[in-house]
Structure formats: structure tokens, C-alpha cells
Structure 1
Amino acid sequence: MKKTLTLTLLLIISTLSFGQTNENQNEKLALAYMQAYGKWDFDTMKTFYADAIHFEDPTAKAAFQQDFVFDGKENVYQFFKTVFKDKFKNDKPPYVNFVIEKVFTSGNHTIINSTFECVLPNAWFQEKTNETILVAIPFVTILTIEKGKITQHIDYGNYTKYFEQIKAQVKK
């Protein structure tokens, strides 16, 4: 009986430790992914994707009246790669960053609260400005990680703040 109790306790402790280790690994993977995201390094981001990754940003759909839903490694990669296509040298803003404020992981989900900072292309605002347009908006990213790969990436951005910041910087 004592031996059975000891084995049961060891099994419970090892199971709990494995869960913690897996969560720690998922969080490290998520932070490395976000570092690549903040560098606008989509080639590196792609290495984190599961083949059947799902990406969406329901808040962007509401803000821009178009779907921001993509499935599959290549489709997600191409979406990100073309966001600023032909708007900046090498299709990359001169300044882009995610300032990570809080991260927590529960099981396969890592939730990242951050501020997305980015210079926007002047071409988006036509003749209205020659100035640099900078936005810094609250962002939440939820990543689902299974077997060391991201299977789901959901973004939620505060696009109300995004449009307010643009309006304050663009000449009327």
C-alpha cells in the first residue's frame, strides 16, 4: 500500500512537472515568435507555423470592412508578407515593434498583451501628408501551440486608437 501511494504521488508530480515544462516551452516559443513579428520577419515567423495554421483578426475586419482570416502556412505567410508590399524599401516599415507588456500561458494557449508600434506608409494617405505617421495601439495576440508549432494565431487590435492617432497626424 505504501509503495502504491508513493508511486501514485511520483506519477502525479511528474505529470504536473511535465505540464509546467510544456507550458514554459510554449511560452518561450510564443515570445520568440513575437520577436520575429516585431521585426517584421515573416520568413522566421513561418518556421513556427503548423501546416494547417489558422490566422484571424476579427477587430481588423470590423475596422477595414474586409476579412482577415487565413488558413494554411503559405496563405498566412503571404498575407503578412504583402501587408506593406511596395510601400517601403524591402516591404518593411522603417520602424515596427511589439512592446510586450504581459504574457501568460495556460495549457496550449499563450496570451500576449502588447502595444503594436509602427510607421505607416504615407502613400496610404495620398496628398494629405508628407510627415511620418506613427501608431502605437493596444494589441492582444492569442497563440495556440501544439507539438511545438503554432496552430492558431488570433489578433485583437484597438483600431479605434489606430484611427484616432492617424487623424491627429494627417492634415485635413
Structure 2
Amino acid sequence: MKKIILFTLLLGLSISPVLSQQIKDVTHNFIKHYENRDFEKMFSLFSTDAEFQDPTTVVFGMSGDPMKGRDQIKEYFTKNMGDDFVKVKIDIIRESYVGNLAILNLNFKSDIKAKYFGSNKEGLISIDIPMTTILKFNSDNEIVSHIDYADYTKYMKQVNDQK
């Protein structure tokens, strides 16, 4: 019996790094496509029934409730981060992979057209905020859940200081 338990534990340990590496690879591709705003490629990494939530958007008067379905999430990102986001840079400060989760502490930087914020001013507004992203994966290494927590208070201060 001890041999079976030991074998099972060793087998689990030998498989985990492979699964973690696959999840890490998908996570890094997600970040790359996010930076490029290549939503076709970004959302090809999601399952069709994926969920997205950013509870911190209540700062903007949004509900922060989860969205369901890859197409709805893609539409949200395309609408909210389309052509007005001229440049996006996401630095991974710390990343952890536990089971089927990727937990990322990020620094989100972007140059956004001033008109996006209702400004009559030409030019760009630069933001630089901390963000935490949690991605959950299914057994096919597809993203089934994406949750963001961002410092939108800092975001709005930076926007208002540059308007």
C-alpha cells in the first residue's frame, strides 16, 4: 500500500511541472496578445464558456459583475480597449502557478488618446497602474476564468492630471 501511495505522489509531482509550464506558456501568450490588443489571438486562448470579472470597475460606475461567454468578453475588450489605446505595456512583477491557476501581479502601462476620456485636447494620456490578474484553466489549458483587480483610483488621478 505504501508503494502505491508513494508512486501516486511521485507521479503527481512529475506531471505538475509539465502542466504548470503549459499554463505558464498560455499565460505569457495571453499577456503578449493583450499588449498587442490582438483580441482574436487573445480570446482564442479562452474556452467558449469563459467568464471575466473586474470587480474594481465599480469606480467607473460599472457593476463589476461577471461576464459570461468568450464572445461577450471579447466584445467588451474590443469596445473598451480598441484603437484609442495606442500603446499597452504589461510588466509581470510576480507570477505564481498553483494547480490550474495563474496569479499575476502586473504593472499596466498605456498611452491612450485623450479623446477616449472626453477631452477636447489632442495627444495622449499615459497611465501606469498596478493590477492583479487571476487566470483559471481547464484540462485543455484554455482560460475558463479571468479576474482583474486594478487600481482605478490611481488610474483616474493620472487621467485627470493630464486632461
- TM-score relative to the length of structure 2: 0.89
- 8 Å Cα contact 1:49-1:150 kept in structure 2: yes
Q: What's the offset of the Cα at 1:6? A: 4.4
Contiguous gaps of at least 5 residues in structure 2: none
Paired position in structure 2 for 1:155: 148
Q: What's the offset of the Cα at 1:150? A: 0.4
Contiguous gaps of at least 5 residues in structure 1: 86-90
**Distance in 2, Cα, partners of 1:154 & 1:105:** 15
Q: What's the offset of the Cα at 1:56? A: 0.8
The amino acid of 2:86's aligned partner reads P
**Distance in 1, Cα, partners of 2:12 & 2:118:** 58
Q: What's the offset of the Cα at 1:120? A: 1.8
Tell me which of 101, 122, 132 is aligned to 1:140: 132
Deviations 1:125-154 (A, max 9, x none): 445532320101101110001121000000
Q: What's the offset of the Cα at 1:98? A: 0.8
Tell me which of 75, 82, 90 is aligned to 1:98: 90
Q: CA RMSD in A?
A: 1.8
Instruction: Select the structure of larger CA radius of gyration.
Output: 1
Paired position in structure 1 for 2:56: 59
How many residue pairs align between the two structures? 161
After alignment, is 4-13 or 128-137 more displaced? 4-13
Q: What's the offset of the Cα at 1:124? A: 3.0
**Distance in 1, Cα, partners of 2:10 & 2:133:** 31
Tell me which of 97, 110, 119 is aligned to 2:111: 119
Q: Percent identity?
A: 25
Aligned runs of 1:39-78 on 2, under 5 Å?
39-60=36-57, 62-68=58-64, 69-78=66-75
Note if 1:12 corresponds to 2:9.
Answer: yes
Q: What's the offset of the Cα at 1:22? A: 1.4
